[in-house]
Structures are given as C-alpha cells and as structure tokens.
A and B are shown apart, each in its own frame.
Chain A
Amino acid sequence: AQSVTQPDIHITVSEGASLELRCNYSYGATPYLFWYVQSPGQGLQLLLKYFSGDTLVQGIKGFEAEFKRSQSSFNLRKPSVHWSDAAEYFCAVGEDSWGKLQFGAGTQVVVTP
C-alpha cells in the first residue's frame, strides 16, 4: 500500500529565509505527486504537481519541488518566505487516474518577523 510521510510536523522560519519541506513516499510505480497549502479554516490549494518529465517543477507563489526517484522524495522549497506563507502544507500521492489521493499528515509552517 502506498504511504506518504512528512517528517516535520512543525517548522519555524524567519521571513526572508529559505524554506524546505520534506516529503517521502512509498509506492511501487512512478506516482503522481502533489503539494497543497491550507490556510486556517480553509480548503486546500494546489501549489504544484509532478506527473512525468522534468523532475524539478515550478508552482505558484514562488514554490518549487524536486522529484528524486532514488530517494522516494518530493521536497518543496521556496528561496525566500513571506509572512503570508504561514500555513499548513500537505504532500499527496495519487495512485491512478481515478484521482484518489493519499495525504501526508502535514507540516505547519510558522513565519517569524
């Protein structure tokens, strides 16, 4: 069975500093990979996705993620965080075209002045 692990439950970062959120997955084939962001009390917004091709994908809000098959990872990065990036971030894996997603437990990001 597929699984998604986000090792960091909580990360605190200073405004302007770089951010990296880790995601590891367990899946037999090449999965569909996603990063979502959730503001408090809100739904989830898609940041970026990977299906195939270039392993470095660009998303919205200045985020990027890199798929590393050898490490079964799909880490999310941003060079310089803004206070508005404070939110919870979820990594997700899709197993097929049905669109069913397996989510990690999420990483809460706090941005300090």
Chain B
Amino acid sequence: SQTIHQWPATLVQPVGSPLSLECTVEGTSNPNLYWYRQAAGRGLQLLFYSVGIGQISSEVPQNLSASRPQDRQFILSSKKLLLSDSGFYLCAWSLGQVGHTEAFFGQGTRLTVV
C-alpha cells in the first residue's frame, strides 16, 4: 500500500533563516505531488504541484520554492523565512488519472516563524 511521509512534524525557525521540508511517497510510481498550506479559518491553499521529476508548477507567488529531485521526493524550501510563512504545511500525492484524482495527505508540518 502507498504511504506518505512528511517531516519534521513541528518546526520553529527565526525570521530570515532557511527552510527545508521534505516529503516522500512509498508504494507508487510517478505520482503527482503537491504542497498545500493551511491557514487558520481559510482552508487549504495549493502552493506547488509536480507531475514529474524536475517539473514544478507554482500556484501563487510567494517566498517559497519547491523541488522534486527524485520521483517520490518533494521538497519545500525557502532561503529567508518571513513571519507570514508561518502555517501548517501539507504534502500530498495523487495518481493524477481520470477517476483517480483524489489526493492523499501527509501528517503535516507546523511551522512557526519567530
């Protein structure tokens, strides 16, 4: 069966510091991968998605970037964190096939920028 791992679970970082959040998927090949951010009372916002190695699409302009160095690895990064980057970050994967577009989520990373 497929599993998704996301770490760390919580992170407290000072303003201006770099960020690296990692997500890996097991049990499937060539998944679509996503990074979402959840702000209180606002649901989830799609930040990035990837349909293959090295292919990244950004949904909103921001201080973050994403990379997919391997088929089942997705990384969210920042060179210099802002206070507004605080939030709950969720990685997800899907098969990306018609009739199978549901996303499966990791457990999330709570990022607090201080």
Partners in one complex: yes
Q: Contact residues of A with B, CB < 8 Å? A: 4, 9, 32, 34, 36, 41-46, 49, 51, 90, 94, 96-106
A46-B102, A49-B102 known; A99-B34 Cβ under 8 A: yes
Is the Cβ of A99 less than 8 Å from the Cβ of B94?
yes
Chain B interface residue bracket vs A: 20 to 34
Q: How far is the CB of B75 from chain A (nearest CB, A)?
A: 18
**Bound-state Cα–Cα, A65 to B90, Å:** 25
Q: How far is the CB of B87 from chain A (nearest CB, A)?
A: 13
What residues of A have a CB within 8 angstroms of the CB of B34 in the complex? Answer: 99-100
A97-B96, A97-B101 known; A43-B107 Cβ under 8 A: yes
Is the Cβ of A42 less than 8 Å from the Cβ of B49?
no
**Bound-state Cα–Cα, A96 to B57, Å:** 15
B51 sits at the interface (CB 8 A): yes
What 10 pairs across the A-B complex have the smallest Cβ distances?
Answer: A99-B94, A43-B105, A103-B43, A103-B44, A44-B105, A99-B101, A105-B43, A43-B107, A97-B98, A99-B32
A99-B96, A100-B49, A105-B42 known; A42-B101 Cβ under 8 A: no
Q: How far is the CB of B8 from chain A (nearest CB, A)?
A: 13
